[in-house]
A and B are shown apart, each in its own frame.
Chain A
Amino acid sequence: MSNWDRFLDAFFNARVMAKYLPDIAHGTLVTIELAALVIVSGLAAGLALALLRSLGFRLVNLLIIFVVDLFRALPPLVVIVFIYFGLPAVELSPSGFVSTWLSLALVLMAFSEEIFWAGITSIARGQWEAARSTGLSYGQTLIHVVLPQAIRLTIPPLTNRTIAITKGTALGTVVAVSEILGMASSAVSNSYNPSPLTLGAIAYLILFLPMVTVGRWLETRMTWRR
């Protein structure tokens, strides 16, 4: 067998690929499910924290800043490992799926709070004052005046950060989540052929390449030139 044939047989083995395609497809669904949960809960929690912070309770704000800093400084894999291998010591045994979801959602919460907060504070004070003086309440000012402008500013950095953290769903494989990488890895050891990894790689590209492209487009489209 020539080197080229050997390469094709290893990474593009049609028989192995056909056999494990259903597994990888199933893994893709798990990845999508995990990613959707992470994005929705992470962003919602981040926005909620940013809004809470805008109320200006000193003690609460210090706590928020600490939590945000903590999850920006800790590697997501460390958080996952702690939740999955550490919590059972106190009789809590979250599954790999829940551990990964929780960890990534916390990390996304921290990063998105920071971005939402920067967006809110970037809206000039005069806008608040003007809106309030026309008779809008605090909540109305926030929803109709501040947030529409703040969110526009925050969309490009938020998109890029969300993509980066969502890619972390692959970390789930370390705690036995049957997502794409986990399925591909076990298929490799079952078939003794790395073609399932190629399939997995393709699945990731199909999922994330459109997101990266949209992120790139948003970045050029929505940033205001300085």
Chain B
Amino acid sequence: MLQTFFNVDIVSQAWRIILAGLGNTVLLSAIVVPLGLAGGLALSLLAGVRKPWVRWPLMAWVDFFRAFPPLVLLIFLYAGLPFVGLELGGFACVCIAFFLNNGAYYGEILRAGIESVPEGQTEAARSTGLGRLQTMLYVVLPQAVRNVLPDLLSNTLEVVKLTSLGSVVAMPELLFQARQAQSLTYNPTPIVVAALVYFVMLWPLVRLLSRLENRALARR
């Protein structure tokens, strides 16, 4: 059993390949998380506009990308667009798909956060002479982010896990590298190692989240 799933020889052969994959996963996460946050912030600020011609298209946009499995979006970009002469490559496709998908998720979370800050805060800030942008930036957003921090963290965890989809479009991230190593060595050890790496990397965040979530629900 140990020979099959945690073969030390295989580990010593494959660790370089897997380590390179880990580097790319971290790099990819460091790119797509801020990208999604930026998209989400833009959506959540737009949601503050109370005009029906902004509200409804915005809601449709968000629900559309929340209903769409991210892998379908990714395949659509990667395998569909070349037919109209747009070859974007795996990396660009992952970035666009993650921007659209995670922007919608982050947007919903930030919107809920902004709505949780009482109206009086905005009024008070405005009456002290702060501009609309200043009020948003210095008064509303900091409180909004604090109120929805568990959800933001939980979504970030999902985004990091989702970077494993990159393997489908040949991005050399952790899972892809492990699959490569597996097919080179005819042994599932590299996949176990990759799983272990994901677990060690994300476990602290999972622990933190489960404490935050328990507390949030208990407070209601």
Which residues of A line the B interface, CB within 8 A? Answer: 6-7, 10-11, 68-70, 72-79, 81-82, 85-87, 89-90, 114-115, 117-119, 121-122, 153-154, 163-164, 167-171, 173-174, 180-181, 185, 188, 193-194, 197-198, 200-201, 204-205, 208-209, 211-213, 216, 224, 226
Contact = CB atoms under 8 A, between A and B. Distances in A.
Nearest to A8: B84
Contacts of B205: 73
A213 B62 CA distance: 11
A74 B195 contact: yes
B210 A73 contact: no
A197 B192 contact: no
B79 interface: yes
A15 to B, nearest CB: 15
B75 A181 contact: yes
Contact of B79 (A6, A69, A117, A188): A188
A13 to B, nearest CB: 10
Contact of A82 (B165, B188, B218, B220): B188
A159 to B, nearest CB: 12
A190 to B, nearest CB: 13
Interface in B147-194: 157-158, 161-165, 167-168, 175, 179, 182, 187-188, 191-192, 194
Contacts of A78: 164, 175, 191, 194-195, 198
Nearest to A110: B206
Interface of B: 1, 4-5, 63-64, 66-72, 75-76, 79-80, 83-84, 157-158, 161-165, 167-168, 175, 179, 182, 187-188, 191-192, 194-195, 198-199, 201-203, 205-207, 209-210, 213-214, 217-220
Contacts of A171: 71
A216 B191 contact: no
Q: Is the interface of A mostly helix, strand, loop or mixed?
A: helix
A67 to B, nearest CB: 12
Contacts of A10: 80, 83-84
Contact of B64 (A68, A77, A205, A216): A205
B168 A174 contact: yes
Contacts of B157: 72-73
Given A77-B175, A78-B195, 9 more contacts: A10-B83, A73-B157, A74-B198, A114-B213, A117-B214, A122-B220, A167-B68, A188-B79, A204-B69
Given A85-B182, A86-B5, A153-B217, A205 B67 contact: yes
B69 A7 contact: no
A74 B205 CA distance: 12
B161 A89 contact: no
Given A82-B188, A86-B5, A122-B220, A181 B69 contact: yes
